[in-house]
Amino acid sequence: MAPILKQHVADAAASGAPPPSDEFRLSDFDLTIRNGTVTNADATFRADIGIVDGRIAAIADRLPAGAHDIDASERLVLPGGIDSHCHVEQISSNGVMTADDFESATVSAAFGGTTTIIPFAAQHRGMALPAVVADYHACAGPKAVIDYGFHLIVSDPTETALTVDLPALIRQGYTSFKVYMTYDKLKLDDYQMLDVLDTASTHGALVMVHAENNDMIKWIAQRLLARGHTAPKYHAVSHDPLAESEATHRVIALARLTDTPVLIVHVSGRDAVRTIRAAQTLGARVYGETCPQYLFLTAADIDRPGLDGAMFCCSPPPRDAASQEAVWEGLANGTFQVYSSDHAPYRYDETGKLPKGAATTFKDMANGVPGLELRLPLLFSEGVGRGRLSLQQFVALTATNHARMYGLAHRKGAIAVGLDADICLWDAGREVTVAAASLHDRVGYTPYEGRALRGWPVTVINRGRVVVADGRLLAERGSGMFVSRRTPGPVAMARTPSPQTQLFKSLTAR
């Protein structure tokens, strides 16, 4: 028995388990998972699970076998992962399409233990949001093999978008949207940001923010290029950590003015981590997300011969060892509530990373790295396996907190009666050496090539359907379902605005 599993079996015995049940008969369950060690964000216990019509119908110490029965002996039984930040079948602001469509992305996610993804219906300037959402549904519905929801990307906050389209879409279950403070074709200025924050506050949505100072980045980049510094490694130089920490501080101030909760996504630098932590300590409604690339890569990985460093370029870029440690600390101490992949899959060729071939500069490259399939195994191996995180923290960061953050807790994120049967069985002792050839995305490389991991998802269940087992895909193309979301947890949380905020809102309400 793997040491991790041995410890959690002991924890389960100490914490107690659901009582035996003689209320159920063989025919009562479509599927049973028996003899496993179940871990939620708040408890570990030994239990059997009975599933009916895609939902968890019973959890007890002993259940009779269902029509289909899985023996989970020597396995950890965890909620299926939720990846709430990934870019799938999405055109970038520079017109580059991601390598993964909804089929390849959801297959890759499933093999990595993820049962729900929330990618982005991306508005580019001049586009109407309802049409953007309709087009994205047409992409997803026929292809997805696991469940999915949509965030919105808002880059053109017109009066119609703010007063008609966004309120209507929020009511329809699109209860979060992302805005950018960088990228010329996507960024909002502070005035526009306040408009979006106010709309979110009024109608009950969560705002996700890519926080980097665009002018800082542009100013540095222009000087680097003028001096002939064009290699991929200069991407990290141009995206100075101060650009991230300044923008983080600024958007927190804007959100405090409107009393709107915000989530700062893909946080990379030590100063940005500290800025978020300080604001949280003061009571600001700010939340944080980080990603594998900020735990397992540094700027040194980008410094490679030729253009090979492009495969490690994302925005914000990986930083240094001190920032890695700050991000690990943020995961452990609660600064970060969610851990996502920010899967941005661009091939290492003219269709993706190298639009100008050998003449590509760091400013021409598509920004982003793949990570959808390895998100969970990386954190399990290096977080849980090395004692940086408890198994319950792992579950919270990869599933439960995503469900709470984004209005999915009524369906997903935990192993509990009444919820969707989204369950992943882990072999805590399985050793895997990462190789792009064994992954299921269409990118063709991984920045984690050759890394040795311990612990791997071996059986993946989504809404009671066995999607992956024994290294085989068992779900059909198009069998995933769209999940409408409710009010995000940070928005629903009861809070009395300060007197200044109440006065401000009374004077400025639309």
What is the phi-psi region of residue 416: left when phi exceeds 0, alpha when psi lies from -120 to 50, beta otherwise?
beta
- Report the DSSP pairing between strands 68-71 and 55-60: unpaired
Give the closest residue to 36 by CA, choosing from 367, 395, 459: 459
| CA gap 480, 484 in Å, rounded | 13
Q: What is the pLDDT of residue 14?
A: 53
Q: Give yes or no for a contact between 114 and 372, defined as CB atoms under 8 angstroms apart.
A: yes
Q: What is the pLDDT of residues 368-421, one digit of tens each?
A: 999 999 999 999 999 999 999 999 999 999 999 999 999 999 999 999 999 999
Whole-model pTM above 0.85? yes
Query: Strand pairing of 286-290 and 262-264?
Result: parallel
CA atoms within 13 A on the CB side of 54: 13
CA angle, 306 as apex, 304 and 312 as ends, to 5°? 45
Closest CA to 476 of 485, 489, 466: 466
205-264 pLDDT, tens digit each: 999 999 999 999 999 999 999 999 999 999 999 999 999 999 999 999 999 999 999 999
Q: How far is CA 96 from CA 154, 265, 345, 349, 351, in A?
A: 18, 22, 10, 12, 7
Q: Which runs of consecutive H residues, i.e. helices, occur in 141-284?
A: 159-160, 166-171, 190-203, 214-226, 233-238, 241-258, 270-281
- Helices of type H across 304-371: 321-333
Tell me the residue length of the chain.
510
pLDDT attached to residue 445: 98
Q: How does strand 55-60 pair with strand 44-52?
A: antiparallel
How far does CA 33 lie from the centroid of its chain?
27
CB 51 within 8 Å of CB 31 = yes
Give, for all 510 residues of the chain, the pLDDT tens digit.
555 555 554 555 555 556 555 565 656 899 999 999 999 999 999 999 999 999 999 999 999 999 999 999 999 999 999 999 999 999 999 999 999 999 999 999 999 999 999 999 999 999 999 999 999 999 999 999 999 999 999 999 999 999 999 999 999 999 999 999 999 999 999 999 999 999 999 999 999 999 999 999 999 999 999 999 999 999 999 999 999 999 999 999 999 999 999 999 999 999 999 999 999 999 999 999 999 999 999 999 999 999 999 999 999 999 999 999 999 999 999 999 999 999 999 999 999 999 999 999 999 999 999 999 999 999 999 999 999 999 999 999 999 999 999 999 999 999 999 999 999 999 999 999 999 999 999 999 999 999 999 999 999 999 999 999 999 999 999 999 999 999 999 999 967 777 777 777 777 776
pLDDT in the model for residue 5: 53
For residue 63, give the nearest of 31, 27, 20, 30 by alpha carbon.
20
Q: Indicate the SS3 state at residue 483.
A: coil
The CA–CA distances, whole Å, from 243 to 213, 238, 286 equal: 5, 9, 18
The pLDDT score that the predictor gives to residue 497 is 73
Identity (one letter) of the amino acid at 4? I
**Residue whose structure tokens are 């899959």:** 345
